[in-house]
Structure formats: structure tokens, C-alpha cells
Amino acid sequence: MLDLIIRNGTIVDGTGMPGYLGDVGIKDGKIVASGSISETASLEIDAVGKTVSPGFIDPHTHFDAQLLWDGRAKPAIEHGITTIVPGNCSLSLAPLRAKHRMKLVGMFNQIEEMPIKAFEEGVEWDWETFEEFLTRIKKDLTINVAPLVGHSVLRLWVMGDDSMQRTANEEELGRMQDLLRECLRNGAIGMSTSFVDMDETLQPVPSRYADQQELHALCEVLGEFNRVLQIVHEFYDADITLARIDQLAEISLKYKITTTFSPLFVNVTANDSVNRVMARVDEQFKRGARVWPQVQTRPIDISFCFEVPSLLFIRLPSWYQIMRFGSHDDIKAAFKDEGKRKQLVAEAKTMSPIWDGLVLRQVDSDANQHFVGKTLAEIAATRNTSTIDTMIDLSIEEDLQAHFLSLNMGHTDNDAVGNLLTNPRVHLGASDGGAHILSFSTYGDTGYLFSQFVRNCKALTVEEAVKKITLDTANIWGMNNRGLLHPGYAADVTIFDAEQIDRGEEYYVQDVPGGGSRYVRDSVGIDTVIIGGEIAYRQGEYTKSAIGSIIPGA
Amino acid sequence: MDDDIETYLSYLGLLRIIRRKKRMATIKATRTSIFPKGGDTWESIALRELPDMASKEAISILQSWNLHVFMRPAAAKDSTRAGNPILPSDVIFVAPPQA
Ligand SMILES: [Zn+2]
């Protein structure tokens, strides 16, 4: 007698081989049979007309904070994701001394746009070590978590304030190595570092003060445990990216570890840069190095309102300054002040083409409802004013609660992106799930993979797409016994309608502790999600029974 | 005829070995860059990497090759790095972009 049998679905097993009609049997959290199963089970799921695949794995997320109040990492599971990798880009929530908590909250707020209030009201700070943090999130965990430990927090633990001042000395290097060893021993899947991020005072994060010697010392430890190095690099510049690829390749070859860098975007104006990057990746793979570029499926869309600082304004210092450091009233006052407004308008003109195409996506007042869905250029024409002035006026009228959407800011060339996704040396997934919650929805990239690149562009088959986000990801990260529907593998399973699977429309929802909001997307076409042999989500409903694991596990 | 085939085959084998050696040993040259040493400044990098150039000229050419560092807001006044935007983890180009 088995625990669960999924009957008569099209089994797309993760290998990339053609799907076939059959049953999948589960017992004690593991796949025990596939094909024809004559046994019975205490629970059977009818999957006629559906595709049955291994659970999807999202390798680039920042769900660290959310896991403290939501062990499902909503809405990841309903998009078919059964395993997430948090702790990317040099930031994790452990190990962290009590006295450094607010420093790290500042960094999370700046880099991942996680509201400070959410930490104040949603988080009971009852951990310091990595082990204590994992114990804490395991109390109520549905999704599997393969956590990275952040280089910046290792530095902060060992060096305190000096972590943002200088390189480490020999003694500090030794302590950082020991600390990393302890994290890896307790279940970290690797370490993340950043060469670009800034803290809340716009100073470089601690990892950027590390020299080569320090990075190598830490990667030597990753080698001892055969674990992964993730970096976020200067993705806006191809020459620097090539230098980073070479740096990672040397590390990969020397310590025999997997490295991965993110993000890699297709840039329409500099299309050649992706080709140069991939040519270098190819060269380094041929030498035996493992240097995986992470590519996301979705185009870059940015949503914003003036209540919170937005990435879109990062190149406009006067705007960013007031959004980042000004209060609600300061921002409104600046908009109303004639001189200040003139300066803002002049500065915004340097990015002129963007504003015309902005779409008004949400307002509170009845008076402006009829503008929702229109571009600023269209609204400006009816109001006889400029687009930038329209954006400012609407924001004043809506008490800063006018939401704008900038569509297709990059990574929009579907043929080029599709082509890139099919490359066997491209690692699919840089969703940033759980981060940038005030700029765009970081959920639904897997649905978009199928709707856009399987059904629409036909760049990949269903089988190839499934392999990319299951077995390939598990292999790259060394997640043993995940990513295949073969006997002995963990019973993480996603059942979906291959003709329907998609991401839903983006919307703004207030569900972050402390009264915070975020942009999310529902899933389309996902029927059932099974984690560790238990149903975590079925036909629109979450259940309580599934328990997530820590991968690789303590 | 047999000799010819033998020569031809060994030639093929040789070619294969040469090809493999080439693949292992050479990797296309990209734009030359360095990682800074502890406490490096524009001046110290210029002195070390562009020794044949007058210091002032070398510094300004280095800065123009490394706008990603040069244009960065300088460190806070009370920082030990005050006045020096270079970070130990930076990539610093010591050659112009390749044509
Ligand atoms: Zn990230």
C-alpha cells in the first residue's frame, strides 16, 4: 500500500526525454514507482490531461525574511516551486549577532526593498547562529529551502563595523573560514557574495571590502564541502562581466566548485554583449570550469509609487534622494515647491522616453479612475501638460498613492531570450523571489517560461523547459535526489496543465507584516504541488500537511 | 600507398593532440584587468601598472578606463578610505577596451 499515487498523467520526468502516459507512486516522502502501478494507495490523484513533473526549483530568491512569517514563501508554491534558494547576493539573515540586526535590516531594505516595519512587526529575533536560524524557520516550513550564507554577514559577524572599512587580517580570515565551515556543516548549500550592492546609506556592502585573498580563503572552505559560490556582478558592463567570469573560472578550477553569476540580461541596444559573455562562458567550461550565468525568463517591468524609493530613479540623484530619505510630507512638499519641482522635472527629462510610456496602474480617488490603464502621454494630452508634470500632479492628487508601471525596460527580445534559455550552459532562474517587492512581482517566472517560451515562441519543448527548472538546477547546485521523478528521489511533484500554465496579472496587495504591501501574481494552470510526498497546494487551496526540508540538510 | 595512409593517420593523430593542447592551454585574451592590492589608490596602481607613463597622465587614463569606479561616490569622510573610491573587490582595467 502506497501513500499516494498520481494516476494517468503525462509524466515529464525531468530528464528531457519525451513525456509518457503513466502513474507515479509515492511512499515515505519518496518516489517509489513510475509507469504502470497496480498497487493502491491511501490517496489517489487523477491527473488525466495533466502533466506530472518534478517540483520546480528556484535558485535565486530572497525569501529569507518572509520565511520567518510565511513558511510557504507565498506565492512560490502555487507557481509549482517546491525548493527555493534564499540568501543570494551576499545577504542572509544568519549568522547575525543581536547588535548587528538593524544594520542588516537596513541592507535588506535598501537592496531587496523589504520594508523595515516588516522586520519590526513580523520578526521575533530569537536566533544568532546559522543553525539557530534554520531551527527557527523549520518550526513552520512547507517549502524546501537550500540556503546560501551571505559573505557580507560572515564579515559583519567577524569584523563588526570594520567589515565596511577594510580588508581582513590573517586572524579574521581564519575566523571567517571557521564560521563558514559551521554554516556549511549545518546545512548551507553555499556562499553568496556581491560586487555591486550598497547599504541603506549608499555605501558598499561588507563583501565589497574583501580582497582576492579573502574570497579565495572562503572558496577553499566551499571546496572542502563541495558547495556553491553565487555572485552578483557588474551586469551592466560586458568587459567587467568577462573579468568576473575569468575570476570565477579560476576559483572553480582551483577549488573544484560550482560558481554562478547573476543576472545576465539580453540588452537590445548592446545585443553583442550577451554573445561575448556566452562565448567566454563557453571557453571557460571547455577548460573544465563551472561558471553558470543565471538568466531570468521575464522581461524587466518596474512598478512604483512615490511613497517608497524605486529602482527606476536610481540614476536621478535629486529624485532618489527625496524618495530614499524624505518623509511622505517632504516628498509632497518638494513636488509642490516651484523651484524644487523645476529641478526635478529638468533632471527627469534626461530619461525622457521612459515617462511617455508609463502606464497609470492604480489610484485611490474616483476622479482619476478613468485614467487607469492609460499611458502618461495619453493622460498628459487630455490635461494639456507634460508627461513628467502629469506624473507629479497625479501623485499629489492621490496623496502619493498613484501607481505607475514601466513596461519592458529590458530583456524583452523574446527570440534572443528564448535562444539564450535553450543554451545548455545557461542556468535558468534569477527570479529574485521575495525581493524588490515594491518594484515588481518576482513570482511566476516558471509559468511565463511555459506560456512564452514553450507555447508562444516554441523555443523549448515542455520536456526541455521542465528539465531546465528541475534536474538541471538540482545538478548545478548539487541537490542530491531532487529534480527527477525516478524511484528513490524525493517526492517533490508539480501537476499542471501544459496548455494553460502561465503567470497571472500583477497586482498590489497588502499582506506584508507591519501593514506593508507588495506586487504579486497568482498562478494559472497549476493543479497540485506535492512537497516531500505530502500535498502542499491543490486546486487553489493550501494545505497544512507538507513539511519542507533543508537542503543539503544538517 | 600504405605508407601514405600511415603518415596521413599519424598526421591526423598529431593534429588531434595539437588541437587538444591548444584547447587546454590557450584562452582568448580579453581586456587586461587587475584586482587592487590592500590600500591601492589611482596613484599606486598607475605606478605599478603603467610605469612608462607620467604619473598624472597615467592616473587620468586609468580613471577614464574605470568609470565604474571613478564615478562612484567617494567614501564617507570618516572612513579609512576617504577620498579613495577603489574597493579591494573591484575589477580595475589597465588597458583600453578592445576594438
Ligand atoms: Zn538577488
Q: pLDDT digits over A535-551, tens only?
A: 999 999 999 888 999 99
CA distance A231 to A521: 27
pLDDT attached to residue A544: 85
B88, A202: Cβ pair inside 8 Å?
no
* Mean pLDDT confidence for A141-168: 97
Which residues on chain B are in Cβ contact (under 8 Å) with A261? Answer: none
Window from A60-69, A198-207, A364-373, A497-506 with minimum mean pLDDT = A198-207
- Is the pLDDT at B1 greater than 50? The verdict is no
Do A145 and A90 share a structural domain? yes
CB pairs under 8 A between A and B: 65
Same domain assignment for residues A328 and A368: yes
**Residue showing cell 524557520:** A137
Please indicate, yes or no, whether residues B65 and B91 belong to a single structural domain of this protein.
yes
Residues A167, A280 within the same domain: yes
- Between the CA of A548 and the centroid of ligand 1 the distance, in Å, is 22
Distance between CA atoms of A56 and A463, rounded to whole angstroms? Answer: 13
Cβ separation A237–B68 shorter than 8 A: yes
Kindly report, residue by residue over A199-238, the tens digit of the pLDDT. Answer: 877 789 999 999 999 999 999 999 999 999 999 999 888 9
**pLDDT for B27:** 80
* C-alpha to C-alpha distances, A522 to A260, A297, A496, A508, nearest whole angstrom: 29, 17, 14, 11
Q: Indicate whether B22 and B40 sit together in one domain.
A: no
In this complex, which of B73, B79, B81 lies closest to A202 when CB atoms are compared?
Answer: B73
Chain B residue with minimum CA distance to A193: B89
Any residues with CB less than 8 A from the CB of A428 and at least 6 apart, and which?
A: A294, A295, A297, A421, A449, A468, A469, A472, A473
Q: Are residues A209 and A234 in the same domain?
A: yes
Select from A226, A129, A229 the least CA-distant residue to A179: A129
Chain B hits for A205, Cβ within 8 Å = none
Let me know whether B36 and B83 are in one domain: yes
Over residues A453-470, the mean pLDDT reads 97
Contacts of A149 (CB under 8 A, 6+ apart): A87, A92, A94, A95, A130, A180, A183, A184, A188, A190, A191, A192
Residues A501 and A80: their CA atoms lie apart, in Å, by 10
| Residues in contact with B5: Cβ distance below 8 Å, sequence separation at least 6, in sequence order | none
pLDDT at A322 over 60: yes
Q: What is the pLDDT of residues A323-366, one digit of tens each?
A: 877 889 999 999 999 999 999 999 999 887 789 889 898 888 99
Chain segment A397-418, per-residue pLDDT in tens: 999 989 898 877 778 888 999 9
Between CA A368 and CA A187 the distance in angstroms is 52
What's residue A520's pLDDT? 87
Contacts of A278 by beta carbon, 8 Å cutoff, 6+ apart:
A293, A420, A423, A425, A426
pLDDT of B14 > 60? The answer is no
Contact assignment for A211 to B30 by CB distance below 8 Å? no
Please report whether residue A386 resides in a domain: yes
In a domain, A488, yes or no: no
Strongest mean pLDDT among A144-158, A289-303, B38-52:
A144-158
Q: What mean pLDDT do residues B20-25 have?
A: 50
Average pLDDT, chain A: 93
| Cβ contact, residue pair B93, A209, below 8 Å | no
Residues B64 and B79 in one domain: yes
The per-residue pLDDT for B13 is 56
> What whole-number percentage of chain A has pLDDT above 70?
99
B89–A208 C-beta distance less than 8 A = yes
**A203 close to B (CB below 8 A):** yes
pLDDT, mean of residues B44-60: 95
Q: Which residue of B has its CA nearest to A194?
A: B89
Of B23, B33, B35, the CB nearest to A286: B23
> Could you tell me the residue range of the domain that residue B6 belongs to?
1-27
B12 has pLDDT over 60? no
Where on the phi/psi map is residue A321: left (φ > 0), alpha (ψ -120 to 50), or beta? alpha
| pLDDT of B22 above 70 | no
Flag if A239 and B35 touch (Cβ within 8 Å): no
Q: What is the pLDDT of residue A476?
A: 98
Contact between A520 and A509 (Cβ < 8 Å): yes
Taking every pair of C-alpha atoms in chain A, what is the biggest distance, in angstroms?
79
pLDDT tops 70 at residue B11:
no
Q: Say if residue A74 is in the same domain as residue A208.
A: yes
What is the CA(A231)–ligand 1 centre distance, in A? 9
Cis peptide before A206 (omega within 30 of 0): no
Domain boundary (A477, A492, A517) is at A477
Residues B50 and B20 in one domain: no
The answer to whether residue A142 sits within a structural domain is yes
Question: What is the DSSP-derived secondary structure letter of residue A404?
Answer: E
Q: Is the pLDDT of residue A384 over 90?
A: yes
Kindly state whether residues A122 and A270 are assigned to the same domain. yes
A475 pLDDT band (50/70/90 cuts)?
very high
The answer to whether the CB atoms of B68 and A165 lie below 8 A apart is no
Cα–ligand 1 centroid distance for A302 (angstroms): 16
DSSP B35-99: PPPTT--HHHHHHHH-TTS-HHHHHHHHHHHTHHHHTSPPPPTTSTTTT----TT--EE-SPPP-
What are the pLDDT digits (tens) for A76-114? 999 999 999 999 999 999 999 999 999 999 988 887 777
* B72-94 pLDDT, tens digit each: 766 777 777 778 899 999 999 99
CATH of the domain at A161: 3.20.20.140
Please check whether residues B13 and B59 belong to one and the same domain: no
Instruction: Give residue for cell 551592466.
Output: A236
Q: Is the pLDDT of residue A31 over 70?
A: yes
CB within 8 Å: B89 and A239: no
User: Domain check: are A336 and A258 in the same one?
Assistant: no
B41 and B83 inside one domain: yes
Residue A124 Cα to ligand 1 middle (Å): 24
Same domain as A84, residue A180: yes
- CA A59 to centroid of ligand 1, rounded, Å: 10
Domain count, chain A: 2
| Mean pLDDT on A15-40 | 97
**B18 and B42 in a common domain:** no
Indicate if B58 and B83 belong to the same structural domain. Answer: yes
Cross-chain residue pair B27–A203, CB shorter than 8 Å:
no
| A33 has a pLDDT exceeding 80 | yes
Q: Do the Cβ atoms of A215 and B89 come within 8 Å?
A: yes
pLDDT score of A286: 96
User: Do B15 and B61 lie in a common domain?
Assistant: no
Domain carrying residue A339: 302-406
Which residue from B27, B90, B97 is facing A287, i.e. has the nearest CB? B27
Whether residues B99 and B68 fall in one domain:
yes
Say if A207 is an interface residue toward chain B (CB within 8 Å): yes
Question: Does B52 share its domain with B70?
Answer: yes
Number of domains in chain B: 2
A111 and A184 belong to one structural domain: yes
Higher pLDDT, A429 or A538: A538
Residue of B nearest to A212 (CA): B89
* Minimal CA separation from A168 to chain B, in Å: 10
Average pLDDT over residues A522-538: 97
- Looking at chain A, the number of H-run helices and the number of E-run strands are 18, 23
Residues A221 and A126 in one domain: yes
Q: Are residues A432 and A359 in the same domain?
A: no
pLDDT at B46 over 60: yes
Whether the predicted pLDDT of B19 surpasses 60: no
Which residues in chain B have their CB less than 8 angstroms from residue A324's CB?
none
Residues of chain A contacting residue B88, judged by C-beta atoms under 8 Å apart: 167, 208-212
How much is the pLDDT for B3? 56
- Give domain status of residue A11, yes or no: no
Same domain, A279 and A380: no
Q: Are A287 and A249 in contact (CB under 8 A)?
A: yes
- Largest Cα span, chain B: 83
